[in-house]
């Protein structure tokens, strides 16, 4: 027992600062994700109220990528959304994102709550170390209008005009729709 504590303390002294950095990065990523989600939600709610689903489609098409790029610029992180069945081809996952979402899907199927589906890790990328953060996006009732199994024909038509390779329909309530995905390049200084 005491041995365990001493060993644990040694490990903490060795790695404590790396853990602390990771915890701080994770907290920052979670906060940015919250801000991003809130802005997307507000934009979507306003657009639906003003122009119904057809009007909201146009706004989502123009605003969703802009919200992500503005927040990326102001924060210094790369911020976006991805999905195993993307609507916008630009949201196609990389291998890392695909694996994390497959894991989220499996955990959701085992009954875990969507809110707990979060992943954070330091990974080795082509350009050095990256901190990567992902958070699951579940399918809510309102999402089914544009992502469900019975999308209205005029909506469907407009979606395929805007997104010829759309895969993001056929979702059911509670399905994993996708994930927020954040990246930050770590310069490695001080390691
Ligand atoms: C009015 C139609 C509409 C509604 C309602 C809607 N979406 Fe979307 N969704 C879109 C469009 C259009 C895009 C593509 C945006 C872009 O070009 O980046 C999209 C993209 C996404 C993406 C990004 C990944 C991808 O597939 O390109 C996620 C994740 C997503 N939606 C989740 C949701 C969730 C969750 C809800 C419910 C809270 C929802 N959507 C409601 C139209 C809609």
Residues 25-34 have pLDDT tens digits of 999 999 999 9
The residue among 6 and 69 whose pLDDT is bigger is 69
Per-residue pLDDT at 190: 42
Helices 153-162, 2-75: crossing angle, 10 deg rounding = 90
- The minimum-distance atom of ligand 1 relative to the CA of 162 is 12
The mean pLDDT of the chain is 90
pLDDT tens digits, residue range 134-168?
999 999 999 999 999 999 999 999 999 999 999 99
Domains belonging to the chain, first-starting first, are 19-185 (3.30.450)
Instruction: Answer whether 92 contacts ligand 1 (Cβ < 6 A).
Output: no
The answer on pLDDT for 129 being more than 80 is yes
Please work out whether the CB of residue 81 comes within 6 Å of at least one atom of ligand 1.
yes
Burial pattern 2-22, b for ≥16 Cβ within 10 A else e, equals eeeeeeeeeeeeeeeeeeeeb
Average pLDDT over every residue of 115-119: 96
Task: Assess whether pLDDT exceeds 60 at residue 45.
Answer: yes
Looking at the predicted structure, is the pLDDT value of residue 39 above 60? yes
Which backbone phi and psi does 119 adopt, to 5 degrees?
-135, 135
- C-beta separation of 91 from 80 below 8 A: yes
For residue 11 the two structure tokens come to 């490990």
């Amino acid at each position: 027992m005491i041995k365990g504590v001493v060993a644990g303390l040694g490990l903490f002294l060795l790695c404590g600062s790396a853990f602390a950095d990771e915890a701080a990065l994770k907290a920052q990523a979670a906060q940015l994700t919250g801000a991003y989600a809130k802005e997307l939600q507000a934009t979507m709610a306003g657009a639906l109220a003003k122009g119904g689903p057809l009007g909201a489609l146009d706004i989502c098409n123009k605003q969703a990528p802009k919200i992500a790029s503005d927040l990326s610029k102001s924060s210094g992180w790369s911020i976006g959304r991805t999905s195993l069945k993307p609507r916008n081809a630009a949201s196609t996952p990389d291998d890392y994102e695909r694996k994390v979402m497959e894991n989220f899907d499996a955990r959701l199927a085992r009954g875990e709550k969507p809110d707990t589906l979060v992943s954070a890790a330091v990974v080795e990328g082509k350009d050095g170390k990256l901190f990567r953060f992902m958070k699951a996006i579940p399918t809510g009732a309102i999402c089914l209008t544009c992502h469900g199994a019975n999308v209205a024909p005029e909506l469907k038509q407009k979606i395929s005009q805007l997104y010829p390779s759309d895969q993001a329909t056929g979702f059911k309530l509670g399905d994993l729709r996708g994930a927020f995905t954040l990246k930050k390049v770590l310069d490695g200084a001080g390691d």
